[in-house]
Amino acid sequence: MSTAPAHAPAPHHEHERHALMSTSIAIIMAVVAMLGAVVAFRAASAEQETTRVERMVQHGVMLEIARRQDYLSRLDHYETFTARSTSLHANAERDLEHAQKDPSRAGLFSLSAQLDFALIGVLQPYRDYFYVNTGASLEQGLRSRTAADLREYGFNTKWQQPKESTPKTARLPSIWSNLQSQVEHWRSKVIILSASVVAFVIALCCFTFAQLNHQQPLREKLLLRTGIAFAAAAFIVAALIDVFVGDYARQRALVPAAVVALFALALCWFTLERVKHEQQHEPLNPWIGVLISCAGFLVTYLEGLQSAWMLFLPLAGFGALAQFGRKLSERFRFGANEEDEPIHPAEVEPTLFAGMRLHTAPVAHRFGRTIIAMIAITAVLSAISGFLYSRSASKSAEYAGEALENQSEMFQERSRTGTAFFKAAEELSTIQEVMVRYEAAMQRR
């Protein structure tokens, strides 16, 4: 006759250990899921900020091209008035010379010279209005003045004078270096936060696998520790990248994190108190979740975070679900000895609420465990897909920015070439006019 070993644990002790482990894993999963949701929210906020800065750069480039073209037009008008003034001054000097050589017609030549000098005085204010000081280099002067104008408009532009050793054929420094560095920082922040969300989902997957089968304690502890390691690493990386990367002040980044930490501690306390009160058969008021939600919203709103409602709605939803669960449990009365019943009862008594058994009872058959495992794997694959999408979107925006910069450079080069051509054509027409006048004067002699 065989007997059970003396060191074999009693069934009720084994059931209590499984229930305690399930409760602990459930608490950890709730905290990890909440932190993952907050990190996902921060990733979405960082993506919006990236889009905002990218749009600012694109609009600024368009304004830069327009402002640059305005300066080129002013230079063109200035050259026109300068050429006209030079021509009038040359005519006046020639008339004065003729007045000295021909005393009989000195009055006529003097009157013509005075008329030319008067026209020069009339054209002087218009020429001064179109004057643009570009310095020794036309291109560098245009970029410097354009950067200063855009800075007055609110754009964070900066012009850096190239070094003397820089070859003339090299591309000049961009005036959008500050905003481009911000765009790169925000893109890296989006990618890292998306990777942290993937790590949180992997941690939840490990916790789910740990609860599928309690018959292997070593496997359960290994999966639990692996999930905790993934969650801790993701939280540390997300917290560091959220604080030290970007233009947000540290205080504004730390306040939502403090609210989240406060809510996480309150959730742990709420769950433990619920277990204790259920053992003592005393109801627990779930409005604690609502109060925590309101407190988190108030602190966040006073801090000035514009997306406070995005943090408030999930927290308020938790309190509403807690209140709904309490009302539902009061309507369907629970038995006093609910925890003393077997894990897999053959039949559920009609006086008990069947939903209460779904939290502590492990999956009894392999098909159910397979379905849960597939759901967890699907969640991980979905998170990886989101990460790859964020990475692809960042790369696409980066390539679009490079294409816009190349188009801007090509337009500037073309406008500069066109301006030089127009200037040369104007000088050539002036030379031809002088030659025609000279030939006419020679024929009169």
pLDDT digits (tens, 9 = 90+) for 56-103: 888 888 888 888 888 878 887 787 788 788 888 888 888 788 778 877
pLDDT of residue 394: 79
Please identify which residue in the block is written with the tokens 């998170």: 383
* Contacting residues for 89 by C-beta, under 8 A, at least 6 apart: 116, 117, 120
Domain ranges of the chain: 246-361
- Per DSSP, helices labelled H in 280-365 are 287-303, 308-331, 357-360
Q: Which amino acid is at 9?
A: P
Q: Count Cβ neighbours within 10 Å for each residue of 361-372 and write b for 16 or more, e otherwise.
A: eeeeeeeebeee
Q: Please give the average per-residue pLDDT across 311-328, as a whole number.
A: 59
**Tokens matching residue 64:** 């830069």
Percent of the chain topping pLDDT 90: 0
More confident residue, 237 or 321: 237
- 404 pLDDT exceeds 80? no
pLDDT of residue 347: 46
CA–CA separation, 399 vs 34, rounded Å? 35
pLDDT 10s digits, 333-365 = 544 444 444 544 444 444 444 444 444 445 556
pLDDT of residue 250: 44
What is the pTM assigned to this prediction? 0.60
**Tokens matching residue 390:** 């964020």
**Tokens matching residue 421:** 């051509």
Residue 315: Cβ-neighbour burial (10 angstroms; 0-12, 13-18, 19+): buried
Query: Which element (helix H / strand E) includes 145?
Result: helix 138-152
More confident residue, 240 or 195: 195
Query: Which element (helix H / strand E) includes 266?
Result: helix 250-279
- 330 pLDDT exceeds 70? no
CA–CA separation, 23 vs 27, rounded Å? 6
* Contacting residues for 201 by C-beta, under 8 A, at least 6 apart: 36, 379, 380, 382, 383
* C-beta separation of 109 from 94 below 8 A: no
* DSSP tag of 365: S
pLDDT of residue 353: 40
- 331 pLDDT exceeds 70? no
Per-residue pLDDT band for 313 (boundaries 50, 70, 90) equals low
CA–CA separation, 84 vs 123, rounded Å? 8
Mean pLDDT score of the chain, rounded to an integer? 70
Q: Please give the average per-residue pLDDT across 246-272, as a whole number.
A: 53
Percent of the chain topping pLDDT 70: 57
